[in-house]
Amino acid sequence: GDSVTQMEGPVTLSEEAFLTINCTYTATGYPSLFWYVQYPGEGLQLLLKATKADDKGSNKGFEATYRKETTSFHLEKGSVQVSDSAVYFCALSGIPNAGGTSYGKLTFGQGTILTVHP
């Protein structure tokens, strides 16, 4: 079945440092890929997405490129801020099964805790 693997955290950085959070996936066909962010005590917010190979999703200085050849969707930001401290989830939306019951289901990675210090 589909699966998503994220780099283990927690990740601790100083403000203005470069961020990379690795994400690789296993799926049939061409899934859509997402990064979600969760701030303490809140639900998930979509950070960025990519729906086909070589697409680059970007938002708020974060970027991720859909790499079919390496089945990866690594999250990057050139200069992190204290306000970026949160949990980051990589996720994919795969191909529905024959019965259609899996349509729209997201498969999440385990999440990576990011803490940015001033």
Binding site for another protein (CB under 8 A): 32, 34, 36, 41-46, 49, 51, 89, 93, 101, 103-106, 108-111, 113
State the minimum distance, in angstroms, from the CB of residue 79 to another protein. Answer: 26
Distance, in Å, from the CA atom of 36 to the CA atom of 30, rounded to the nearest integer, reads 19
- Between 13 and 44, name the residue whose CB sits nearer to another protein: 44
State the minimum distance, in angstroms, from the CB of residue 19 to another protein. Answer: 20
- Between 25 and 36, name the residue whose CB sits nearer to another protein: 36
Distance, in Å, from the CA atom of 27 to the CA atom of 43, rounded to the nearest integer, reads 25
Q: How far is CA 34 from CA 10, 24, 68, in A?
A: 20, 12, 14
**Residue 82 three-state SS:** helix
